[in-house]
Every structure is written in C-alpha cells, then in structure tokens.
A and B are shown apart, each in its own frame.
Chain A
C-alpha cells in the first residue's frame, strides 16, 4: 500500500554545519522522521557527484546534500563554492536520467539551524514518499 512506503533517503552532510545541526537536533530530541541515513563528510565540496549517483543506483529514493551557507560560513573558506558550482549541473544530469527533481535536494543549513534541519527532513521525506519508490536496479532489470 502506497501509504506504507517508507522512503530511504541518503543525506551527505558537511561536518561543520549541517551535520552539527543534525547532531543538535538529535541531542535535543527534536522530532523528525527516521528516513534519512546520514553520511558525514568533512566538507560539502568533498561530495563527488559520483556519491549521489551511486546512492540512487544502489537504491536510495532521495538524496540530500547540505553544507555551510556561502559565502563565508565554510570551515575551509570556499569548499561550498564547489558545491554550488557542481550541484546545478548534477540536477540537470539527473533530469536527463529521468530522476524527478523532487528526489534531490541541495542547500545550506548552519550548525545553529537544527529547526531548519528537522523541517527539511520532514518536508523532504513527505515529498519523496509521495513520489513512491525509485528502485533503480529493478527499473533496469525488468526490461531488456
């Protein structure tokens, strides 16, 4: 049944901002859906587009990339510049693959914005749940 579908979402979060926000949300026992599997990376600029593609290929229904607000918040001064140069191109690429743009979110959440994180997790989970499973491998296997 469609309303039982629990999406599997992979979140690539930068250590210094969004991961800190997620950590703060967890420590404060703020309520949010358990659907996001977080992978902590040192910087959102470290997130190779390959990571996102691999997440989708291996069964993720949605992917979140989140780092420090540009300009200036980045712990490494301009790592997030790489993020905002790459992610729009990755968005176009995913559209060509036929992956709905609602399945991929990228943006900025600072360490102080735990509320924003919980809100994103809630909204994004609902959004991906409404789209249904992506199930990339089955998509390929079904049809020769």
Chain B
C-alpha cells in the first residue's frame, strides 16, 4: 500500500515533466500543423544552457535565463526558418525540423563533448522532504511538482482568461478569420513557438540534474512526447496533462511490479509448456511487466487511434 503511494508520487513527477514538453508541442502542432521533431532538442538545449550558466551564476539563474535563451532561439527558428519553409507545404517543414534535431544534437556534441555533464541539484534542495515506509521522497521532486503545476495554471489562465489567449485559441481554429480581423497571426505563431520551446527548455533545466545531461537525452524523450499529444488530443492543454500523467503512471507502475506473463497465462487457464526452448511462444512465457513497460504508451496510442482518433480531449482528427 505504501509503495503504491510512493509510485503515485513518482509517476506524478514523470508525468508532469512530460506535460511541460507536450504542452508546447501540442499548441505548436495544432496551430501550424507541424510536427516539430526538434522539440525534444530544445529540451536538451535547456539542460545544457542551464548547466553552463549554473557553473558561473548558480542553479537559480540557470532556471531563469536558460528557458529565455531557448525561447528566443525557438522564436528565431520559427521566424527565419519555418516561416520560409512553410510556403512549400508540410513535408518540407517536417524535414526542416527533423534536420534541425540532428543539427542540434551534433552541435551539442561539438560544444560540450559526448560525456555526461556534472549538472547537479542545487544544494538547498539536497535533502529528503519526507519518507513513506523507508522510501524517501527527495525535496527536488516536490520542487519539480510545484514548478510544473505552476506552469500549468499559468498557461491555463493565459489561454482561457486573457485577450492574448483568446486570440491564440481563435488562431488555432480560424487563422484566416483572425487575420482578417486585423491581428498579426504570424506574430502569434512566432510567440507560441517561442513559448512552447521555452517550456521545453524549463523541462530540460529541471530534468537535467535527475535524468542526466548527455547528448542522448533528447532522443530518449523525443518519441514519447509525440505519443502524449496524440493520446491527449491535438491542441488540448487538458488532454496533454491527462495523457502525460497517464503515461507517467503507466510506465512507473509497469517498471515497479515484476509481474511475469507466465503467471497471467497460467491464471487464465493455459498450462506452461514443459520444455520452454521448444515452445513457439517461449518469449511470451518468459516476459515480465518491466520489460514491456517502455512500449505500453505506444500500445495505448494505437488503441486510442483505433477507438478515438481525435484523442482523449481533442476536437479534430489527428
């Protein structure tokens, strides 16, 4: 029972981290129709910038400045890259962001090398917040939860309660009409892209110290972010939140419990073959839940696409 509570908290942390990445991506995707393959690369840039800044001015300045730099970079990419490619259609845009992802990874390796970076949790947060039955919850995790919940509330407020948010929402569905009303839609696009990448940057800053800061970090998280926005529904902030938490808890619980498939199969009435090596289903019999944990979100995505193509909270088809 205690362990369930601990896993719930761990899953919440993973889920909220994923949310910060997918929130920006889902807005960008629904607004421009572009799958930004480089989104996770901005997450990586956030971590590396923050690491570099933290060497001179400490962690907190990194948390403040790194996302700003990433956001400005992102806005620049939209203004001078994507906007030019946009006129040639979606495929060139896709290829552009894909190339950008590769470029950023090479650039990071060139500047910082291929090694792990010693980017660490700030000292004021290096203590155990509380413990549940011997499982300590580090204070940094609580800090991560607060930062991401704060960002969610701020985003929700801006999108639903402010004028800017209304324009963004309108531009999501009817960009031509909004433009005809005299709003600068390209500027809105640039702003959303910048804010979206800055959010990815924040995620990188606070995830870097716990998940490791190395050139492979973007690749490791990249694909799962796309899964999140497809499950949640394109353009829906609530969808991104629910899907992120769902995936966070699924992967955490799958890794936490060593359920063997042999037990399940036997429980539903199959008998275990005497010589496993001869059995065609040998791999299925020897499988455990932690081994298939990483593919469960993808299975969920396939199910969602079959049963509810617009995603959990989406209004349009994916």
B is a partner of A: no
A residues at B contact (CB < 8 Å): none
B residues at A contact (CB < 8 Å): none
